[in-house]
Structure 1
């Protein structure tokens, strides 16, 4: 066990943030920490990292356990270069390397003089031990590890001598994450590590963390990330914690089933109480039945009355409606380019795409490619360097800016919305804000004092009231918690207008996108379908390119007439052979991919079984018969899946 927190309670004044939190982290655990904004997730990580005090409870950490903690948006502050800062992670190894070089010089000197064989032998032994330690701790892989992590985190093209002080805030945040990955602590605690990462970097980070040798405790609102990475979810709700086995999708299913089961038990007990009370009222005054009635009354008094299951917390509730419909052709973009005034090289060029009424289109691409700039050109906030764009008839645009620059920091929440819709009654404005979880005195908060999630809700409230028939959204899920994202998705899925959006949220992309436009410096690529369809198409294109590269053959010399028939037959046979070889290669690649998938599944299933078996040793589990039964059923289910996976793997491996 690496870490155990028991009955942790944290208060700010009289306000309780966390109450009786229990958390256990074992080796190789992959735990996702979830909850609405403000639930106390970041507070808990700070407490576990010993950066914040707590009022009650205990925290146990094994002496040898190393913990790494990266707070949300914590950019690296350093006057060093990128390479120097990364090398600082390996100070002990670099010291050992210098010691080895010094010992090598001593060995050479002693070998030359041959005047102290004993000292020479002792030095060789010390050198061997030091060298073994250096090798075992990755001393010969320092540069390789640094280059690999920097490349994965998007710094592959940066000169190593780039000063960290010259980087942007987002770049320094990514560099801080790269640094803590290189430190490789036994327990890695990350608070929203996927914020502001592009899809390529996100995918690399997922793969890196899936193979991470230590344990992970991660706060994230990225559902795709949680589904791919974690094997347990700890939910913080109403100041308390509850652990669920499985990834995010499994957690949602378990929580829903748990609520349904508890509600059935509650309703069953309420029916029983009602029957008992009716019997008592009818029979208490009758001499012949009064004893039975009194007996029922005593039984009722002794009954352990269940509280009504609380269910989900209050969520935002809203919908988007179009005041009127556009024409069939909504937007046509042709050859669009954009360059900054002081830069000869365009940010992007030759971008062309279209929008039709009712479509939902996602715009994707790496950070810095110009996606947000393109949206601002479409909304008229910026002017293109070249190219054309034509909006269709009866278009009314609603624009969501991820930076919230259209919000006035000095306004209150009520003033911000009311100033945009001055002819609307105050009662109507307050009702709308209530649907976005601003009630009572909340509407008098200044915009400047709001959290990122609260600002996002104000912007969405204004967007809803516009009744636009074309929505242009720049990272609409940023700053929203998991539950608010689901509400936004539902509202957009029911929207009758046209939607163009930028997002790095792959779960959101999968659920929303009908078509994807991928922006690159030379233009745009177009893909039908959602994010998974896009990945499948990229894989297909890569396989075709591989096949074409391996199947290039020299052109045959021209044949004379007498041999044309034989050549034609040979060509036909050759084509058939080539197609058969292509099919065989394709099948082999599919077999290898399936083997890799099965190996990953086997590893995950074995981890899940071990984690569930570990839960059976917890007092709160083994003292609860129902909890034991639930875990045992899960173990049986996972073992069946594991057996099936092993059998399929053996069959494919022998093929």
Structure 2
């Protein structure tokens, strides 16, 4: 097959989850064999929906999704499904195939080596860390040897070495690849095209070039169009002013005024509908529990104590036990670690399991307030881009990025004395990350942070560091 062959095309595809939930509107684009494309767009713009249309898990409401002949597709999801957590590694991979695969162990060994993970085949999935589970998800797609590989936020939970290994793997990858990610440096290393989902127009714009070049091209185009629109608007206003003056005169002047109004109408048609930039969330503050004073948490074996206003970074590679330690602190089972009496813990989990997926956003946010107040809840939620259409939605129906914004909004209402954050940048649009970093930097309670994103961590005040790898 030739590399220029088109293997998938969208022809005026329309999709909606219901009468009031349109996602895509007359979207058209094509993918060629061997291309490596990134999908950009705001949280909730429909990136994961696009993947479901590519895999035929969803059917378009209108238009056509055309797939070449016997094209095979595999999708590396964002997270392990709850029903898969009790499976062994072997059972997890067997589930990737419709028909039984005999002598599957050599195939498992090959894909685990490709994702740089050592995993006994009888080990249960839930015993792996978030980063290790991310590698298993990638391996579950690779073992199918698809013509089209779809990766949904593949760097989430991965440590520095994991991201480096994945990046090189994708640089060398020979088949067709489509990736959703908010990691700009990662994407720029291997992509040769971009599909941009505009959350406002619900259209898809297709660009050629690496990630940084496309972002620069989009910004330059927007600047040109805004500048051109400003010039047209100025000319329109000048002609309107003159038309108003001449319109009050008689004879030939009224004819001139009429021609000017016709010219205004022509100019207004020339105004370009500039694509709106993704919005970032508004700056916010997570209030600290007023009653939490003095020593908030004590790590007696390490001779470290966090008082109000102190921030700690918990470091270590995937699988070292960072998430397990945070869970044990919340559960009061961490040996040698004592949380102060009456200290309220706010916990941001990387899998969002602190959220009730059956609740609406509205109910979830109201329940996190000491004194439920609908007006205040809606005002704060709007700052996290959780508008009226979103707050009526069940949390389980939101995108992963929107779930993250709900979790942060709840923390604002909860007012914790001790804040625990496990990979809080996962799934989050890159435009929101600096805002979140500033909020955490200013948090006046005690905080423990787990993050593998150096550029995020360096924007946050850190007073203490615990490196679990150094304890080995």
| TM-score for both structures, normalised by structure 1 | 0.57
Runs of 5+ in structure 1 lacking a partner?
95-141, 336-350, 525-655
Are residues 258 and 360 of structure 1, via their aligned partners in 2, closer, same or farther at CA, if it must alter by over 3 Å? farther
Partner of residue 271, structure 2: 306
Partner of residue 115, structure 2: 153
Partner of residue 491, structure 1: 439
Partner of residue 324, structure 2: 373
Partner of residue 232, structure 1: 193
Q: In 2, distance between residues paired with 1:191 and 1:417?
A: 27
Partner of residue 467, structure 2: 518
Greater mean alpha carbon deviation, residues 20-29 or residues 477-486: 477-486
CA-to-aligned-CA distance 1:4-35 (integer Å, 9 cap, x gap): 33322224454432122232323442211122
Partner of residue 2, structure 1: 6
- Give how far 1:271 is off: 0.9
CA-to-aligned-CA distance 1:553-608 (integer Å, 9 cap, x gap): xxxxxxxxxxxxxxxxxxxxxxxxxxxxxxxxxxxxxxxxxxxxxxxxxxxxxxxx
Given that 1:224 and 1:507 are in contact with CA atoms closer than 8 Å, whether structure 2 keeps it comes out as no
Given that 1:417 and 1:429 are in contact with CA atoms closer than 8 Å, whether structure 2 keeps it comes out as yes
Q: In 1, distance between residues paired with 2:329 and 2:191?
A: 39
SS of the counterpart of 2:195?
A: strand
Q: Aligned to 1:333, which of 289, 299, 309?
A: 299
Given that 1:36 and 1:482 are in contact with CA atoms closer than 8 Å, whether structure 2 keeps it comes out as no
Q: Which has the larger radius of gyration?
A: 1
- Give how far 1:501 is off: 0.8
Given that 1:333 and 1:390 are in contact with CA atoms closer than 8 Å, whether structure 2 keeps it comes out as no
- Give how far 1:156 is off: 1.8
Q: In 1, distance between residues paired with 2:47 and 2:390?
A: 22
Q: In 1, distance between residues paired with 2:75 and 2:347?
A: 36
Q: In 2, distance between residues paired with 1:455 and 1:352?
A: 36
CA-to-aligned-CA distance 1:87-119 (integer Å, 9 cap, x gap): 999x9999xxxxxxxxxxxxxxxxxxxxxxxxx
Q: Aligned to 1:42, which of 44, 48, 55?
A: 48
Asked if 1:283 is matched to 2:246, the reply is yes
Given that 1:31 and 1:216 are in contact with CA atoms closer than 8 Å, whether structure 2 keeps it comes out as yes
Q: In 1, distance between residues paired with 2:257 and 2:97?
A: 79
Q: In 1, distance between residues paired with 2:155 and 2:381?
A: 29
Are residues 475 and 264 of structure 1, via their aligned partners in 2, closer, same or farther at CA, if it must alter by over 3 Å? same
- Give how far 1:148 is off: 4.8
Are residues 60 and 261 of structure 1, via their aligned partners in 2, closer, same or farther at CA, if it must alter by over 3 Å? same
Given that 1:31 and 1:233 are in contact with CA atoms closer than 8 Å, whether structure 2 keeps it comes out as yes
Partner of residue 227, structure 2: 264
Q: In 2, distance between residues paired with 1:80 and 1:470?
A: 36
Q: In 2, distance between residues paired with 1:191 and 1:410?
A: 23
- Give how far 1:229 is off: 3.5
Are residues 421 and 72 of structure 1, via their aligned partners in 2, closer, same or farther at CA, if it must alter by over 3 Å? closer
Partner of residue 53, structure 1: 59
Given that 1:318 and 1:436 are in contact with CA atoms closer than 8 Å, whether structure 2 keeps it comes out as no
Q: Aligned to 1:317, which of 271, 282, 287?
A: 282
Runs of 5+ in structure 2 lacking a partner?
none
Q: In 1, distance between residues paired with 2:317 and 2:276?
A: 39
Given that 1:189 and 1:217 are in contact with CA atoms closer than 8 Å, whether structure 2 keeps it comes out as yes
Q: Calculate the aligned-residue CA RMSD, in Å.
A: 4.5
Q: In 1, distance between residues paired with 2:295 and 2:446?
A: 10
Q: Aligned to 1:212, which of 154, 173, 182?
A: 173
- Give how far 1:241 is off: 0.7
CA-to-aligned-CA distance 1:449-501 (integer Å, 9 cap, x gap): 66654443333223223555753312223343444445423433455665431
Correspondences of 1:83-94 after superposition (within 5 Å):
85=94
Correspondences of 1:454-603 after superposition (within 5 Å):
454-467=402-415, 471-493=419-441, 495=443, 499-505=447-453, 508-509=456-457, 511-512=459-460, 517-520=466-469, 523=471
Are residues 328 and 31 of structure 1, via their aligned partners in 2, closer, same or farther at CA, if it must alter by over 3 Å? farther
SS of the counterpart of 1:229?
A: coil
Are residues 219 and 352 of structure 1, via their aligned partners in 2, closer, same or farther at CA, if it must alter by over 3 Å? farther
Given that 2:287 and 2:416 are in contact with CA atoms closer than 8 Å, whether structure 1 keeps it comes out as yes
Given that 1:321 and 1:495 are in contact with CA atoms closer than 8 Å, whether structure 2 keeps it comes out as yes
Q: In 1, distance between residues paired with 2:283 and 2:343?
A: 22
Q: In 2, distance between residues paired with 1:149 and 1:448?
A: 31
Task: Looking at secondary structure, tell me which structure has more helix per residue.
Answer: 1
Q: Aligned to 2:315, which of 342, 347, 364?
A: 364
| TM-score for both structures, normalised by structure 2 | 0.76
Asked if 1:435 is matched to 2:383, the reply is yes
Partner of residue 260, structure 2: 296
- Give how far 1:369 is off: 2.4
Q: Aligned to 1:23, which of 29, 41, 65?
A: 29
Asked if 1:383 is matched to 2:333, the reply is yes
Q: In 1, distance between residues paired with 2:387 and 2:96?
A: 51
- Give how far 1:507 is off: 5.1
Are residues 211 and 353 of structure 1, via their aligned partners in 2, closer, same or farther at CA, if it must alter by over 3 Å? farther
